Structure 1
Amino acid sequence: MTEYERWLSVELDDPDLKEELLSVKDQPEEINDRFYRDLAFGTGGLRGVIGAGTNRMNVYTVRKATQGLANYLNKHNTEGKLLSVAIAHDSRNKGVLFSKESAAVLAANGIKAYLYPQLMPTPALSFAVRHLHCDAGICVTASHNPAKYNGYKAYGNDGCQVTEGMADGIMAEIEALDIFADVKKIPFEEALASGKAEYIGEETVNAFIDAVYGVSILGKPADNLKLVYTPLNGSGKMCVLRILDRIGVKNITVVPEQSEPDGNFPTCPYPNPEIREALQKGLDLCKTVKPDLLLATDPDCDRVGIAVNQHGEYVLMTGNEVGILLLNFIAQCKTELGTMPKDPVAVTTIVSTDMVNGIAKDYGIEIRRTLTGFKYIGDQIALLESEGHPERYLLGFEESYGYLSGGYVRDKDAVDGSMIICEMASYYKEKGMTLVDAINVLYEKYGYYKNALCNFAFEGEDGMKKMNSIMDHLRHNAPAEIAGFKVVGDSDYQLSVRTEGAEKTEITLPKSNVLEYRLENGSKLIVRPSGTEPKIKIYLSGKGKTAAESDEIIAKMEKAATELLGL
């Protein structure tokens, strides 16, 4: 309440905020939710509901975060060089405002800001950081969250989202600041006029598209495809259409209701290509257009989802299925073309499918597993580069619809994902196959690995306490069986311990609040609190001899997941 009263007493330069604060004066629970904590800054940067309060996304929390970033960068600038930061935004509400406010704070702290003048995909921000030799990056986006959210992803000079160490350092600087008294800023127009802020030119955009095209797999036009595409009212349209044109895909129908940027996402309240509801407008259009493929990119265009025309029915494919297909396609094509590198490497995460292991074994590919978060995959790309062998990298993918087939950025890229998925669909179409046919061939060969994701939401302060209590309970009370199957191994990534029977081994990945249980039938269940949303995610992987058997195992595990959390 003290902080609430302080915000009311200050002359806020965003009039919407004062009005909003006054509207909740008789709602103590609402006031508590807005002010019980500061919006947390972590490896995912900031993410929260747009509005007034310390636990909301607004010009004051954005300025404070940027001041913390500026202080961190200046403190570590031992060479005294001119520092710079690249900034991008997607179609989110207040995205342009938050971008300009970030630039204004950086400029006041002697750090040059480079801003994209138009909305751009998140991977284009990662590219700009490296292309312009910046010391950090900021992307104003809430990815695939509902319209009421916005966010602030922070990047290091390597183009990866900040690591734990850098995030902790920035957070320490942020926590030392008063949100009103300690933030420096100059008017944005003044920063622009003085050269302390500068718009990123078309040359960088063109270089990004060229870099994506540079990792094309087929080497010939994918001109036999017919597509329906939706950018889900986000930032993908320009870059995705340009890259598809480059690879020869001309027959594209864009979903009209979702074609233009709109931070309210009026036709898909949850603009996530992982869920059917977000794709419904595209699926409706497919009934008349009858394309080979429906392609959907999320608002910041780092994730891509697809639906495949299978005998007139449009089948949605999961992120794991597309990742499996892409790895097999890239390995097969490179082998056929004689371009497969020596000691190839593919990178995925601990929550992604185990089905890649069989494909990797057949093609002699080393599979590296990382924690969830594409920055860890980016670290592996950088490691290969530092060893002088960037060509070894074939593909990085996450089960959450994120893919990258080249080292030109350090984040998942739906521009690249759209390109290689279309090349893959074209390749199989020439053989008289759909992508559904292709995955079924792989299932027959490697076993039916089916995956599912359960989300359990915990809103507000009480929700956060409940999440922590559940994780603490599981950490000290590992289940002996799940869904009727004996647990034969468990891993605690926070304590860095893997247990199988009486044997304990060390996990060498960075510490993370993740628990994994492996079952006697080859299935697994992973429990992980989201790093960007108030929810616990449970990742399920079921393996059976047939599709029906796998589906049955997953159904049992979904029921067991709820019981495991005591809900």
Structure 2
Amino acid sequence: MDNKNEKKEYERWLTNATADADVVAELKMLDDTKIEDAFYRDLAFGTGGLRGVIGAGTNRMNIYTVAKASQGLADYLKKNFVEPSVAIGYDSRIKSDVFAKVAAGVFAANGVKVNIWHVLMPVPTVSFATRYLHTSAGVMVTASHNPSKYNGYKVYGTDGCQITTEVAAEILAEIEKLDIFADVKTSNFEAGVANGSIQYIPDEVYIAFVEQVKRQSVLFGEEVNKDVAIVYSPLNGTGLKPVTRTLREMDYTNITVVKEQEQPDGNFPTCPYPNPEIKEAMALGMEYAKKCDADLLLATDPDCDRVGIAVKNKSGEYELLTGNQTGMLLLDYICSQRVKHGKMPDDPVMVKTIVTMDMGEQIASHYGLRTINVLTGFKFIGEQIGKLEKQGKADSYVFGFEESYGYLTGSYVRDKDGVDGAYMICEMFSYYATKGISLLDKLDELYKTYGYCLNTLHSYEFDGSAGFAKMQNIMQAFRGEIKEFGGKKVVKLLDYAPGLDGLPKSNVLKFLLEDNCSIVVRPSGTEPKLKTYISVSAENKEVAEKEEVEIRKSAEECLK
């Protein structure tokens, strides 16, 4: 939109957007600069669905943008399914329940049968319900680990996997045909529940989900000490009930929950950035762990699809593990147990993203697993499980993980699962603790076996329309003739934009550097950020950290 059109659309919203008092109030407060940012584009819809700041305007998450997306999805479902249906879930974020009910009302008005969780639930339960109830699609209202001002709308296919690029494009085409006020059919949520067009998902589905998580154990009858002291934080999200229930039913009873972060609260008062990847979000949990002298700290993000952990080191301090480190430990534990008990499937497979630590591939290879590398995003891991299932090999899938703290040990869902991740981490921890081995000891052992590897992630913010344009220009600059990063020569450039190695087209660059190092550059699909992932192989931690700094400085020169 140009300025004239933005102003015109703003005036239209002033007239028509009257159903939400918050939107009405905000529209009246907008100045010209804020009008431009709120209306310069429609909130982008892609494979991750919608994600944006809650507020008034076409570039914001509100009941109108949610309703328009739901109408587009309903039109797509009606074209592709004889009796279309949907499963809906929502997390603890501001307005998540409101947006879920608005979406349900739109689907019901369009003759799409609605199944909705009656309370807030983690992301994986929507993937599970979609599969269990055989619905045509799933919708989860969440912005994952973003700050509290954000919300989002994820869409799942009938296979329980986040939608593919092709399906996202088809749904987007339907959305783009619509006028946000004139073309959206709506209906009252409570009336839908009363007449049966909207139904609550029965408890049997939740029970079945928990049972599937419990079945992921690889102890195969071995006895371990389950009285380890665990501190758990749901970071004011959806993990509290499913995580504590699963652990208690599997006899982990020594659990202390971080009181300030126990109950759902979309304002995230003690962790403004509720992401277990960052130290600040884990700080309160670490204080609790010290007070309780806990063996293990676990935290799940608000929609409970990621897990972060901290463990006690030899000097009694708590050390945070990265997603890569936890993923490698889980991979090694699961594989070693399967091999030990003769439970490894035929043609076993591990799936990881291209930005996830390459050491994962070495561990997999050691145990005879085939590694499939996919683009960033767990949906691509889910897609690979689906392909194995179609070949009659769903059991071949052993483990999938990504560096951003996402793990999945079974094929019962097609997205990362923080409930499963939390449970399997506790089992792994207990197994080693019973033998007097800490996770840090085990990690050192892996480094001794496969060589030291350091992986880091750096994010750079580019807000607004100017920031969006700058990110595009930076990506083009990276595609220039770059010969080295931090003194390490570029051996090969992998550009995924035209499609590579059978993967979908994606605006991602991976520079393979000498000495088995690499750097990946990509714009975030969900935030106004450019991300760089640096991987350094070296003889020890000190050398790796020094080399990483040089590579990062070199990459940052291209961001100016």
TM-score (norm 1): 0.96
Give 1:11 deviation, angstroms: 5.3
Q: Which residue of 2 aligns with 1:503?
A: none
What residue identity is the alignment partner of 2:496? Y
**1:377-526 alignment to 2 at 5 Å?**
377-475=381-479, 477-496=480-499, 507-526=501-520
Query: Are 1:13 and 2:19 matched, yes or no?
Result: yes
CA distance in 2, matches of 1:324, 1:346: 11
Conservation of the 8 A alpha-carbon contact between 1:239 and 1:415: yes
The 2-side partners of 1:347 and 1:461 are apart by 36
Asked whether the 8 Å contact 1:234–1:260 carries over to 2, the reply is yes
Could you tell me how far 1:495 is from its partner in structure 2?
Answer: 2.3
Deviation per CA, 1:312-368: give whole Å up to 9, x if none. Answer: 110100001111111110110111111111221100010001111221222111011
Counterpart residue identity of residue 145, structure 1 = N
Hey, what does 1:552 align to over in structure 2? 546
Q: Report the CA distance between 1:131 and its aligned residue.
A: 0.4
Give 1:450's aligned amino acid.
L
1:416, 1:141 → 2: CA distance? Answer: 19
Aligned partner of residue 308 in structure 2, secondary structure: strand
- Does residue 313 of structure 2 align to residue 319 of structure 1? no
Give the drift of 1:222: 5.1
Give the residue type in structure 2 aligned to 1:511. Answer: K
Matched, 1:255 2:258: yes
Q: In the comparison of the two structures, how many residue pairs are matched?
A: 551
Secondary structure class of the residue paired with 2:345: coil
Q: 1:561 aligns with which of 540, 555, 558?
A: 555
CA contact (8 A) 2:17 2:23 kept: no
- The amino acid that maps onto 1:305 is G
Of residues 276, 279, 289, the one that matches 2:279 is 276
Q: Matches of 1:389 and 1:430 in 2, distance apart?
A: 34
Cα deviations by residue, 1:5-47 (Å, 9 ceiling, x for unpaired): 11112251111111111011xx211110000000010000000
Provide the rounded CA distance (Å) in 2 between the counterparts of 1:252 and 1:374: 29
Q: How far apart are 1:380 and its partner, in Å?
A: 1.1
Which ranges of structure 1 fall in alignment gaps of 5 or more residues? 497-505
- Is 1:287–2:290 an aligned residue pair? yes
Of the three residues 4, 10, 17, the one matched with 1:4 is 10
Residue number in structure 2 paired with 1:114: 115
Q: How does 1:113-262 map to 2 (within 5 A)?
A: 113-219=114-220, 220=223, 223-262=226-265
What SS does the aligned partner of 2:153 have? strand
Deviation, structure 1 residue 564: 2.7
Residue 540 of structure 1 and its aligned partner are, at CA, apart by 0.4
Q: Secondary structure at the match of 1:182?
A: coil
Residue aligning to 1:331 = 335
Q: 1:495 to 1:11 in 2, by over 3 A?
A: closer
Residue in 2 that maps onto 1:499: none
Amino acid in the other structure paired with 2:192: A
Q: Deviations over 1:502-544 (max 9, x none)?
A: xxxx532111100010111110000010000000000000000
Does the 8 Å contact 1:222/1:422 carry over to 2? no
Distance 1:420 1:478 in 2: 45
CA distance in 2 between partners of 1:263 and 1:453 (Å): 26
Residue 373 (1) aligns with residue 366 (2): no
Query: Aligned equivalents of 2:330 and 2:395: distance in 1?
Result: 17
Query: Paired residue for 2:268?
Result: 265
Q: Distance in 2 between matches of 1:171 and 1:358?
A: 40
State whether residues 492 and 516 of structure 1, in contact with CA within 8 Å, keep that contact through their aligned partners in structure 2: yes
Please show how residues 292-307 of structure 1 align to structure 2 within 5 Å: 292-307=295-310
Which amino acid counterpart does residue 23 of structure 1 have in structure 2? M
Quick one: distance in 1 between partners of 2:545 and 2:456?
10
Contact in 2 for aligned 1:222/1:249 (Cα 8 Å): no
Between the aligned partners of 1:459 and 1:344, the Cα distance in structure 2 is 43
Matches within 5 A, 1:331-350: 331-350=335-354
Preserved CA contact (<8 Å) 1:221 1:247: no
User: Aligned residues: percent identity?
Assistant: 53
Larger displacement relative to structure 2 (556-565 or 359-368): 556-565
Q: Distance in 1 between matches of 2:438 and 2:558?
A: 38
Tell me if the contact between 2:224 and 2:431 (Cα under 8 Å) persists in the aligned partners: no
Structure 1 contact 142–151 (Cα < 8 Å) conserved: yes
Equivalent pair of 1:145/1:272 in contact (CA under 8 Å): yes
| CA displacement, residues 216-238 of structure 1 (integer Å, 9 cap, x when unaligned) | 11144651321000000000000
**Post-superposition offset of 1:286:** 1.3
Is the Cα–Cα contact under 8 Å of residues 225 and 433 in structure 2 kept in the other structure? no
**Amino acid across the alignment from 2:113:** K
CA separation of 1:489 and 1:11: change in aligned 2, threshold 3 A: closer
CA distance in 2, matches of 1:290, 1:368: 40
Regions of 4+ moved over 3 Å: 219-222
Question: Where do 1:76-87 residues align within 5 Å?
Answer: 76-77=80-81, 80=82, 82-87=83-88
